Amino acid sequence: MPARFPFHPHSHQIDVRVFYGDTDQMGVAYYANYLRWFEMARNEYMRSVGYTYARLESEGLVLPVIDVGCRYRKPARYDEELTLESWIAEKTRVRVRFEYRIWNAAHAKPITEGFTVHASLDRQGRPTRLPAGFLDILTVHTS
């Protein structure tokens, strides 16, 4: 994808459109949809680096959100095209922090910025280390 915006150098981007069902009576995207868009961006980031959520789960791990933040700068409106940008901001042996920006295709500034922090847990809900292969891939894509 050609760089239309000043993207983070290690980010992944996907394009989406604001559907009518994403909006309220004023045609503005409902605030919780931004978290859904963060999730979409995160899933596609993982797919782009070759380590999907399905792969993590097949290895007995889950990555629940343990912290989230979102700053709304401008609203997204019905039928607008958005670019969802995501990247890894921080990683440890048991946690990963994703950062996000949502761009309106007609603007050169992000309309929303946010983050999610994920803990690595086994199927019984106990903290566990992230797989070395996953951390290696993240290192390549964050260095």
Q: Could you report the per-residue pLDDT of 44-92, keeping only the tens digit for each?
A: 999 999 999 999 999 999 999 999 999 999 999 999 999 999 999 999 9
β-partners of residue 108 are none
Question: pTM of whole model > 0.85?
Answer: yes
Here the tokens at position 95 are: 């946690």
Q: What is the structure's pLDDT at 143?
A: 60
Q: Does the active-site annotation cover 24?
A: yes
Exactly one of 15, 22, 24, 67 is catalytic; name it.
24
> Does residue 2 surpass a pLDDT of 50?
no
User: Which residue is associated with the tokens 């995501």?
Assistant: 86
Domains of the chain from N-terminus onward: 12-142 (3.10.129.10)
